[in-house]
Amino acid sequence: MNQSGNLGSGSDSAANPVGEFTFVLHGAGGDLAKRKIIPALAQLASVGYFSPGARLIFAQREALSPAQALAEVDAFLARTGDAAARATLPALAPLLSTCSVRLGEPTAKAGLDAAIAQGPHPVVHYAALPSSRFKDLIACLPEERSAQRLRLVLEKPLGFNARESAEIEAAAAAKFNEDQIFRIDHYLGKQAVQNLLALRLGNRIFEPLLTREHVASVQITVAEDLGVEDRAGFYEHAGALRDMVQSHMLQLLAIVAMEPPVSLEANSLRDEKLKVLRSLKVPQVLGTPEIITGQYAEGYVKGQPVPGYLHEPGVHAQSCTETYVAFRTEVQTWRWAGVPFLLRTGKRMPRRFAEIVIQFRDVPKPLYEPVGGHWSGNQLVIHLQPDDKLELKLLAKTPGERLRLKPVSLDLDFFNTWRIPVRDAYERLITDILRGRLSLFLRRDEVQTQWEFVDRILADLKQHGLGPVPYTSGTYGPSAATAMALRTGALWSEDAVS
pLDDT digits (tens, 9 = 90+) for 336-348: 999 999 999 999 9
Active-site residue numbers?
248
Identify which of 293, 159, 137 has the alpha carbon closest to the alpha carbon of residue 238.
Answer: 159
The Cα 299–Cα 398 span in angstroms is 40
Q: For residue 342, what are the β-bridge partners?
A: 219, 328
Low-confidence ranges of the chain (pLDDT < 50): 1-4, 8-13, 497-498
* DSSP single-letter state for residue 186: G
**What is the number of H-type helices and E-type strands within the chain?**
16, 18
Residue 244, pLDDT score: 94
Residue 111, pLDDT score: 87
What b/e readout covers 141-154, taking b as 16+ CB neighbours within 10 angstroms?
beebeebeebbbbb
Contact assessment for residue 359 and residue 218, using Cβ atoms and an 8 Å cutoff: yes
Give the N- to C-terminal CA distance of the chain in Å, as an integer: 51
Threshold 0.95, pTM exceeds? no
Strand, coil or helix: 301 = strand
Strand, coil or helix: 359 = strand
- The alpha carbons of the chain give a radius of gyration, in whole angstroms, of 23
The Cα 187–Cα 342 span in angstroms is 18
Dihedral angle over CA of 294, 299, 302, 306, nearest 10: 100
Q: For residue 390, what are the β-bridge partners?
A: 382, 412
Contact assessment for residue 16 and residue 8, using Cβ atoms and an 8 Å cutoff: no
Contact assessment for residue 480 and residue 187, using Cβ atoms and an 8 Å cutoff: no
The Cα 498–Cα 494 span in angstroms is 6
What b/e readout covers 284-315, taking b as 16+ CB neighbours within 10 angstroms?
ebeeebbbbbbbbbbbebeeeebbbbbebeeb
| Main-chain dihedrals φ then ψ at residue 445, nearest 5 degrees | -70, -25
Strand, coil or helix: 454 = helix
